[in-house]
Amino acid sequence: MTEPRPVLVLNGPNLGRLGSREPDIYGATSYKGLVESCRSLGAELGFDVEVRETNDEGEMIRWLHEAADRSIPVVINPGAFTHYSYGMRDAAAQRTAPMIEVHISNPYAREEFRHTSVVAAVATGTVAGFGIGSYRLALRALAEEVTG
């Protein structure tokens, strides 16, 4: 039996508040529910999923460096960092394994400032607008990328 492949699911600002943060936009699933969903599906796909959340841009950059240094695939919801963090974008550009950008809502159906992602150009792909299901779709896409 092969060991599960490590995968990081990285979440940016305010995502730890899922379930109570604007449920009409982000849904009723709690952050704990998101973590459980990602770990469960990840195990089915042969991944050892570690889910992390931070409100600190520097910490997100360090996690992306860790993923690059260890060739760990990443699912990333940068949250607000999506729209302005060039430091995070540059860290993501150093990836050595697939990276799927994910968003719970559809940024293009929201405020104009959300229409720009500095991460999209360096990601393998982007999944957005399917609620928490965006993470499940991203994990499935990641499985396709790593097993090819």
Q: Which residue has the tokens 């990443």?
A: 74
114 is in an annotated binding site: yes
Task: Please state, in angstroms and rounded to a whole number, the distance separating the CA atoms of residues 118 and 132.
Answer: 22
Greatest Cα pair distance in the chain: 48
Residue 16 pLDDT exceeds 90: no
Q: Write out the two tokens for 26.
A: 């982000």
- % helix, strand, coil for the chain, step of 5: 50, 20, 35
E-state strands within the chain: 5-11, 47-53, 74-77, 99-103, 125-128
Average pLDDT on 10-18 reads 83
Q: pLDDT per residue over 107-125, tens digit each?
A: 776 668 666 899 999 999 9
Reply yes or no on whether 103 is catalytic.
yes
Q: Is residue 25 pLDDT above 90, yes or no?
A: no
Domain ranges in the chain are 5-147
> Among 31, 103, 115, 135, which one carries the catalytic annotation?
103
CA dihedral 85, 90, 95, 98 (to 10 degrees): 50
pLDDT confidence tier of residue 23, bands split at 50, 70 and 90: low
Q: Which one from 26, 65, 84, 108 is the annotated catalytic residue?
A: 26
Position 24 pLDDT exceeds 80: no
Is there a binding annotation on residue 25? no
| DSSP E strand boundaries for 12-73 | 47-53
Sign of CA dihedral 18, 23, 24, 29: positive
3.50.50.60, 3.30.565.10, 3.30.70.260, 3.40.50.9100: CATH of 5-147 = 3.40.50.9100
What is the C-alpha separation between 68 and 109, in angstroms, rounded? 32
| Digit-coded pLDDT (tens) for 41-71 | 999 999 999 999 999 999 999 999 999 999 9
Task: Please give the model's pTM, rounded to 2 decimal places.
Answer: 0.91
Average pLDDT, the chain: 90
115 tagged catalytic: no
Is 76 annotated as belonging to a binding site? no
